[in-house]
A and B are shown apart, each in its own frame.
Chain A
């Protein structure tokens, strides 16, 4: 009996929180000799979901991966319904189902799951918001384990999603606040669950100077890493930063790393540097070179970014409205939190003006990651969760 992971995308060069998490868990399980399989689609791009990778079986880092083609999608219908969900409009169940159907979906993956279900000890679906998770978990409810990567957003409150959660056998959450949210939103009090999270290996020594030279950065800079979108609170960060810079520190720069629709406002180009997507090693240099890493998002289920910042030796500034990042902050003491602009300005002032404080906070953060989120610690939690899920 093996453990199956069902995830819409998988493989080299595919970035994303749930994708990184699934891959880490699958590879570490395989390395420990646990039979494991990944069922995924041929898609690489999470906007188009076009079939780009060859169908069939391959082995990626000792993990058998089965790829199945994505069914043709009605993207216009999907986009229309998605907009209505974003606006919080009440949706008839037909539209919710159509939305799940036109999200990424793969009938041949479902056939495989149905035919081979007896061979799987557990089938882990990640993340919660895709067709493969919704439809797949309907077929194997008795062994379906959801790794939802959940945060509070309109999608999480759809009756369809509620039904999916309440139909699953059990759950693996990334953090205790995520588990609390799920148990508040859905009637799943009697189901087995565990908190596991993602593991990290200590990174190779970064080169902050190389990063500063390449991007001609002088003086202190605040770093944001992640998708540049409203849902991640990037407009708020930009406004706060510009207001702070104008009043207190004319030499401060904000660097944005990642893709997304948000552009730096006109007139702010010199203060805000949009660096776009960076590869893993350059991103690590960026974390190490930054004076402070800011994570303004209130919608997180884990926040890889703050862990990476701590490992690179930089303290973080997080939004006090996010249960997950503040949970990590309380556990680690690796930075400060702000509830409004005034606290943002005060906290930033304190951090920019005290190098010794920054170093201490970052060291506390790093110790927390190495203790709580090293791979051995994460795999021990996974095995404990697996025991409970097997019941």
Chain B
């Protein structure tokens, strides 16, 4: 599972005032359509409550860390009992 699209989105909010304003002020749903995001990523992004781009970035980084940790646990458990390991994230 790639973090690339999420990173591009956060970075774009730093280098473009217009994009940042839209992301924080009610146009998030239409702006994130441009990216090839998974349903879970869209749900998480839409649920972020942030007044600043810094708060938004912190929330996205936290989500990525949680997803990676959950993915590692998932692989460890399923790997131990000999079942196929998928790269998908299950909350």
Report if A and B associate in a common complex.
no
